[in-house]
Structure 1
Amino acid sequence: MSGVDWESLTEATSGAVGALVSTTVLYPLDTCKTKYQAEVQTHGQIKYRNLSDVLWEAISNKQIVSLYQGLGTKNLQSFISQFVYFYGYSYFKRLYLEKSGAKSVGTKANLVVAAAAGACTAIITQPLDTASSRMQTSAFGKSKGLWETLTEGSWTQAFDGLGISLLLTSNPAIQYTVFDQLKQKLLLRRSMNDLPSTGNSSPAALSAFSAFILGAISKSVATLLTYPAIRCKVMIQAADPEDGDNKAGQPKSPKTMTDALFAIWNKEGIAGFFKGLEAQILKTVLSSALLLMIKEKISRFTWISMLALRQHLLVSQKRIKSV
């Protein structure tokens, strides 16, 4: 079992569990945000003037449960993406330190490592990301299942928005770089009570409150810098209008970033590039801060569990060899 990177596996597991919890808790807000971002002004009229209009539509149509449409797909996408991201991020950092001989990862190297992990994540989970966006932007009560959503068009359409997703690897790259740098500075100020490293010592962890605050700050910075691309991605992945709530005259979803940029510019102007920014910051900051808080709190337990699992596998391996 010497070939298994247990520290990266611990980071990945903790991050994935944190993503699962935060996604479930904040999903109604995410659905409202996504529907609001996907709409483009048509003939001087808009359906949603603010985020609360989406929520009121669900309430007035007695479709509160529809705020959770696509939750299963989103949870699957979040779990897989965060597991892949945190494993890749931790693995690439350790690899960089081993190859370079450096004692810590600098800001520039951290950005490259985070971007590489993000690119791997985007390619693997893009179909699930596209499907969840289509489900969320479908009319309330008319969302299709995962398989039906993925197969209603060509398989290449399941990768709609991949180019922007790769561009947006800069978002988590910025986020986790800012988070890691702030975390390192904070931990340096704390007196370390851990025993000298024996190879099995658990990684240093932040308090829940500190992780929440640092997570909020780091995600706010990343969101502000990348928001126009985020909105373009939502528009590209949105479900095409098919029902009575989206009648003739409504435009089809743009298929490229250029199409989305022109649609926003022609119909909403510069302000359109930042439509829904407040909702995006509210949702992503709460989600990311909650994710990182949970990850930091369970990382020690996860580390101990991984050590127990490793010990169990080693004992089993020895027994098999002795037979």
Structure 2
Amino acid sequence: MGFDLESLSEATSGAIGALVSTTVLYPLDTCKTKYQAEVRTHHQQKYRNISDVLWEAISTRQVLSLYQGLGTKNLQSFVSQFFYFYGYSFFKRLYLEKSGNKTIGTRANLIIAAAAGACTVIVTQPLDTASSRMQTSEFGKAKGLWKTLSETTWSEAFDGLGISLLLTSNPSIQLKQRLLMGKPSPKTGTESSPEALSAFSAFVLGAVSKCVATCLTYPAIRCKVMIQAAESDEDENQEAEQKTQKTVSGALYAIWKREGILGFFKGLNAQILKTVLSSALLLMIKEKITKTTWVLMFALRRYLFVTRARLKNT
């Protein structure tokens, strides 16, 4: 395969897009995560809606705590998107070369996307768990990444892995692929270089696909947040209740018992807003910088090739 320029370009632009979108939307993500992690108990519910989380940060003068865990989340987002886009692009090119096809079918596209997503989740799950616990900690009391991981057992670091594997589908990339079908390179008739969507098309594409996916998978998303949430140290009863929610069955039972069927969709509006904006921004930024990244990668490869040739001649 040699030096896979297209895969590296896709991975780099995707990772940069994820980094920017995560940073911009992080306060919203923190409020959403804290709201999702709370389950109604016999006592009065602390957060009636997502705005209560924001008001708590403002009233306690802990606005900067809305960014607690940002470094970990950025690291997780960058690594995750880099692995995903590189794996997806790499496996797609490998499939086309081995099969001799000029385009990739829907079934093969789904398999490749799922494989790339599964590999990514396994690698980045400890970072995902750590960032969730830092976000759901009391404002101003979040621990750093190293301390969070050092106080976590190996199995706890992979809390929610099963659910994360179920959420690895990425409809945005598939929809993009469908839109780009029938647009081969005019010179070769094959996809020899990355095609770029307009910023508006990328925004709409990301918004629609992620909105549908979020609605279908939201109960699993909320269970994962509850499993990964930091344990409260306010009282022993609440801490004991939270420990029973560290499994999928425990989280499902807790939601059903205390909140009913609607509890499985608590915070859905905030999740859709965050997910849609994040996905749309990621795709828009990625599409804007893909061509620039492609040129830079090509220049880097040419420089390394010339340097290697000069060293051999000397």
TM-score tier by shorter-chain length is over 0.9
2:133 is aligned with 1:143: no
Q: Distance in 1 between matches of 2:259 and 2:311?
A: 68
The equivalent of 2:91 in structure 1 is 92
Aligned residue pairs total 311
The equivalent of 1:252 in structure 2 is 242
- Of 196, 199, 204, 1:208 maps to 199
Distance 1:49 1:180, change over 3 A: farther
Q: Distance in 2 between matches of 1:161 and 1:268?
A: 21
The equivalent of 1:180 in structure 2 is 177
* 1:62-73 to 2 correspondences below 5 Å: 62-73=61-72
* 1:11-50 to 2 correspondences below 5 Å: 11-43=10-42, 45-50=44-49
2:220 is aligned with 1:229: yes
The equivalent of 1:152 in structure 2 is 151
CA shift, 1:55, in A, is 0.4
The farther-off stretch of 92-101 and 227-236 is 92-101
The runs of 5 or more residues in structure 1 that have no matched partner are: none
Q: Percent identity?
A: 70
Q: Distance in 2 between matches of 1:30 and 1:312?
A: 41
Alignment-mate amino acid for residue 249 of structure 1: N
The equivalent of 2:289 in structure 1 is 298
Q: Distance in 2 between matches of 1:35 and 1:175?
A: 27
Q: Distance in 2 between matches of 1:200 and 1:257?
A: 42
* 1:72-83 to 2 correspondences below 5 Å: 72-83=71-82
Q: Distance in 2 between matches of 1:260 and 1:166?
A: 17
2:215 is aligned with 1:219: no
CA shift, 1:95, in A, is 1.5
Q: Distance in 1 between matches of 2:214 and 2:73?
A: 20
CA shift, 1:198, in A, is 11
CA shift, 1:180, in A, is 2.7
The equivalent of 1:272 in structure 2 is 263
CA shift, 1:146, in A, is 0.3
The equivalent of 2:114 in structure 1 is 115
3-state secondary structure, aligned to 1:252: helix
CA shift, 1:195, in A, is 6.4
The farther-off stretch of 95-104 and 309-318 is 95-104
> Deviations 1:279-308 (Å, cap 9, x if unpaired)?
110001000100000000000000000100
TM-score, normalised to structure 1's length?
Answer: 0.92
> Deviations 1:68-121 (Å, cap 9, x if unpaired)?
000000000000000000000111111122222222222222111111000010
The runs of 5 or more residues in structure 2 that have no matched partner are: none
Over 6 Å off, 4+ runs: 198-201
Q: Distance in 2 between matches of 1:44 and 1:61?
A: 22
Q: Distance in 2 between matches of 1:79 and 1:70?
A: 14
Q: Distance in 2 between matches of 1:90 and 1:292?
A: 15
The farther-off stretch of 135-144 and 260-269 is 260-269
- 8 Å Cα contact 1:34/1:133 also seen in 2: yes
2:306 is aligned with 1:315: yes
Q: Distance in 1 between matches of 2:9 and 2:188?
A: 17
Alignment-mate amino acid for residue 145 of structure 2: L
* 1:100-111 to 2 correspondences below 5 Å: 100-111=99-110
- 8 Å Cα contact 1:135/1:144 also seen in 2: yes
Alignment-mate amino acid for residue 124 of structure 1: V
Q: Distance in 1 between matches of 2:217 and 2:289?
A: 30
Distance 1:25 1:68, change over 3 A: same
3-state secondary structure, aligned to 2:300: helix
3-state secondary structure, aligned to 1:313: helix
Alignment-mate amino acid for residue 148 of structure 1: K
The farther-off stretch of 94-103 and 313-322 is 94-103
3-state secondary structure, aligned to 1:104: coil
